[in-house]
Amino acid sequence: MKRKTFLFTLGLGLMMAGSLLTGCTKEGPAGKDGVDGAAGADGTDGTATCIECHSPEGIELAATQYELSKHMYGEAAFEEAGSTTCGPCHLSEAFKYVCTNNTPATFTLNTATNKYVNDYFVAPDAAYGEITCSTCHSALHTTYAVGDLALTTVAPVPMTMWGGAVTIDCQADGGRSNLCIKCHQPRPFTAGLADGQVIDYVGLANNPTAVFYDGDATGNKLRPAYRTHTHYGTAGAIFAGKGGVEFPGTAYTNSAHTTLASCQDCHMAPMQGKAGGHTFFAKGNFNGCNADGCHTGVDATSASLWTGPRADIKASLDALAAKLTINGVDILNRNPDAEHNLWAANTTNKYDGYLNIYDPITNPEGVANNPNGLFRNPAPSNSWSQAQKDFNLTLPKITLTNAQMGALINFQLCLRDYSQGIHNYKYTKALLQNSLAAL
């Protein structure tokens, strides 16, 4: 985008010429009027800087495209209003709060309860606001110049999933991917049954045969539930090649995108259908792939750059899911409803990344032969009916090794990345392959 500096011309004031005093006390007759001076240059229009942005091809166009963005039409910002912990990624004022205050992604021990507390939250009076122009362009209308479009943040992103122990810094194009990654990153798994600290992901990878969850409620770190998950926004982690449970095996390297491309290159490319620009969608838009001399002629039929890698990652997800079973029963939940399962098309069995654990409240849909989950819920809710509690006890217990827990996390990260290897084929492939080998 063109950025102009405005030079404000100073209007010329009238010069008042005073008469010089000499030693003489008597004044002579007035002299002839001088010729008129040249007219001064026009001053800057009061609205000229406004027009730089407020033009049909400026914010008007961006705003029209933005109507197709899920940031605008999605309902999460409304639903999570008031939440100080969901807010940093779902609420405009909360996002700006964590950027301005540099809120750390660490966990701190509360000595009164002896449990660790996640420091990544905002003040209650900042927990609101739909994601809108000023979420990402937080300087809007501060100086009324085009520079006000500057991005809210391009700073490196300490990962909340890792309690800040791992930091993502994608530097292409001035670090503008970091803006997206600050929100599009996975959330932490915590030891709710123990000290509340973030799970030791490195320990899972280094000690795969150890028991992670033994099926009972004592001596364990985390009680698996239907919703034991990475949350939804895993694209930033996979794109950056950071944050997976890195079991040994194939080396962890990254595709060229990680260092050469930014999210915006593909997600804000010139419009094509419902994607590009301020819709932030990449789906169905290959303009970004074929720009800036990166690729030529890529489209949905390209075998080596599209159908091939995507089919390969889909097969890898299928293979890992097939091994994540106990006595032949899937640990992973299936959900063929593509309206609620955004990733239904990404595996043959239409997994959604949740676990196959009985929960009639949070998993009310179920699928054929699977009434609300096939494993016993270790923590039945008080809100269940007696019949539901009794039924839960007829189901088999779930147990997990470190390898299974780590593989589940990696499955969720790679499934919910959504791109089937387009973001970072090499890292995705290594995570899935090494998880499979660890099982």
307-336: which residues touch ligand HEC (CB under 6 A)? none
- Closer to ligand HEC at the Cβ: 219 or 308? 308
For the bound state, the minimum distance from the C-beta of residue 437 to ligand HEC, rounded and expressed in Å, comes to 27
For the bound state, the minimum distance from the C-beta of residue 19 to ligand HEC, rounded and expressed in Å, comes to 44
Q: Which of residues 65-84 bind ligand HEC (CB under 6 A)?
A: 66, 70-71, 74-77, 80, 83
Q: Among residues 68, 89, 199, 271, which is the contact residue for ligand HEC, using CB under 6 A?
A: 89
- Closer to ligand HEC at the Cβ: 74 or 273? 74
Nearest in space to 438 (alpha carbons), one of 244, 255, 161, 198: 244
Q: Which residue has the tokens 């990254």?
A: 254
Find all residues with CB under 8 Å of 302, minimum gap 6, and list them: none
Among the residue ranges 47-55, 242-250, 324-332, 395-403, the one whose residues contact ligand HEC (CB under 6 A): 47-55
Rounded to 5°, the CA angle 244-246-247 comes to 140
Give the tokens for residue 111.
């000595």
For the bound state, the minimum distance from the C-beta of residue 73 to ligand HEC, rounded and expressed in Å, comes to 8
Among the residue ranges 140-148, 188-196, 377-385, 396-404, the one whose residues contact ligand HEC (CB under 6 A): 140-148
How many residues bind ligand HEC, per CB under 6 A? 75
Among the residue ranges 2-10, 26-34, 282-290, 376-384, the one whose residues contact ligand HEC (CB under 6 A): 282-290
Q: Among residues 3, 4, 141, 295, which is the contact residue for ligand HEC, using CB under 6 A?
A: 141
Q: Among residues 247, 418, 425, 427, which is the contact residue for ligand HEC, using CB under 6 A?
A: 418
Among the residue ranges 22-30, 349-357, 382-390, 415-423, the one whose residues contact ligand HEC (CB under 6 A): 415-423
**Per this entry, what is the length of the chain?**
439
Nearest in space to 90 (alpha carbons), one of 107, 68, 75, 105: 75
Q: Among residues 199, 225, 263, 430, which is the contact residue for ligand HEC, using CB under 6 A?
A: 263
Contact between 432 and 420 (Cβ < 8 Å)? no
- Closer to ligand HEC at the Cβ: 88 or 406? 88
What does the alpha-carbon distance between residue 182 and residue 435 come to, in Å, rounded to a whole number?
A: 26
Q: Which of residues 185-224 bind ligand HEC (CB under 6 A)?
A: 185, 187
Segment 326-330 long-range contacts (CB within 8 Å, at least 24 positions apart): 326/375, 326/396, 326/398, 326/399, 327/396, 329/356, 329/374, 329/375, 329/396, 330/356, 330/374
Q: Which of residues 233-262 bind ligand HEC (CB under 6 A)?
A: 233, 235-236, 239, 257, 261
Q: Among residues 68, 84, 86, 436, which is the contact residue for ligand HEC, using CB under 6 A?
A: 86
- Closer to ligand HEC at the Cβ: 67 or 390? 67
Q: Among residues 333, 401, 419, 435, which is the contact residue for ligand HEC, using CB under 6 A?
A: 419
- Closer to ligand HEC at the Cβ: 269 or 430? 269
Q: Which of residues 147-166 bind ligand HEC (CB under 6 A)?
A: 148-149, 151, 160
What does the alpha-carbon distance between residue 44 and residue 8 come to, in Å, rounded to a whole number?
A: 7
Q: Taking CB under 6 A as the rule, does residue 338 contact ligand HEC?
A: no
- Closer to ligand HEC at the Cβ: 226 or 418? 418
Q: Which of residues 107-136 bind ligand HEC (CB under 6 A)?
A: 131-133, 135-136
Rounded to 5°, the CA angle 175-176-182 comes to 95
Residue type, 210: A
Among the residue ranges 108-116, 190-198, 231-239, 353-361, the one whose residues contact ligand HEC (CB under 6 A): 231-239
- Closer to ligand HEC at the Cβ: 54 or 397? 54
What does the alpha-carbon distance between residue 363 and residue 353 come to, in Å, rounded to a whole number?
A: 13
Half-sphere exposure of 189 (CA within 13 A, CB side): 25
Give the tokens for residue 106.
């660490």
The region, left, alpha or beta by phi > 0 then psi within -120 to 50, assigned to residue 344 is alpha
- How far separated are the first and last CA of the chain, in Å rounded? 50
Contact between 105 and 120 (Cβ < 8 Å)? yes
> Pattern 167-186, binding to ligand HEC, x per CB under 6 A?
---------xx-xxxxxxx-
For the bound state, the minimum distance from the C-beta of residue 318 to ligand HEC, rounded and expressed in Å, comes to 17
Nearest in space to 336 (alpha carbons), one of 326, 350, 324, 325: 350
Give the tokens for residue 274.
């419902």
- Closer to ligand HEC at the Cβ: 208 or 233? 233
Contact between 115 and 137 (Cβ < 8 Å)? no
